[in-house]
Amino acid sequence: MHSSQVATWITSARFAPYLAEAEGDHPVAVELYVWNAQISAAVFETLHHVEVLLRNAVDAQFAPVDAAASPRDTWLEDPAILIEASRKRVRETIGRIAREEMLTLAGLIDPAASTWIRSVSRVELLLAKRPPQRSVGEP
């Protein structure tokens, strides 16, 4: 992002904290804004992988199911595990996914969740790239 694009893309109120942190130095404030966007994207990527890992860990605690099995034949609709309101949400979600992508149960639960570790490394890399902070009065 070029400094000239900031006024078009970002409101003054949104950009103000970055400008304050950069002590009025517009190009440094733009660097901070871009860095913040990169960190945010990396965190959301990591959050996504953690969510998948957690979902798979929960799924692993239940008896294995045939990938082609109907959800009503799995723990997803087991009244001993989920209350009716939760089972209803499961049915609605599976119905929506089935309409959109025609997925089987195997498509809902992906066992390859360990890739989240790579995104953690990305966060560390981006943290190391944070523009340097300046002391008060430093040019």
Q: Where are the domains of the chain?
A: 69-103
Mean pLDDT for 45-52 is 89
Q: What percent of the chain has pLDDT over 90?
A: 13
Instruction: For residues 18 and 99, give the distance between their C-alpha atoms in angstroms, rounded to a whole number.
Output: 44
- Please tell me which residue, 138 or 54, carries the higher pLDDT value: 54
DSSP state of 73: G
Whether the full predicted model's pTM is greater than 0.85, yes or no, is: no
d(CA 33, CA 19): 9
* Stretch 28-44: mean pLDDT: 90
| Better-predicted residue by pLDDT, 60 or 118 | 60
Residue of 2 and 117 predicted with greater confidence? 2
Instruction: Tell me the pLDDT of the chain averaged across its residues.
Output: 74
Do 123 and 42 contact (CB within 8 A), yes or no? yes
Give the whole-angstrom CA distance, residue 83 versus residue 7. Answer: 51
Checking if the pLDDT of 138 tops 70, the result is no
Closest CA to 14 of 2, 32, 1: 32
Give 28 or 121, the one with higher predicted confidence: 28
Q: Give the per-residue pLDDT at 32.
A: 92
pLDDT in tens, 74-126: 777 888 888 899 889 888 887 777 665 544 444 544 444 434 444 445 555 55
Q: What is the mean pLDDT of residues 56-66?
A: 77
- How many angstroms separate the CA atoms of 106 and 57, rounded? 15
Amino acid at 122: R
Rg (CA), the chain: 23
DSSP secondary structure of 114-139: TTHHHHHHHHHHHHHTPPPP--TT--
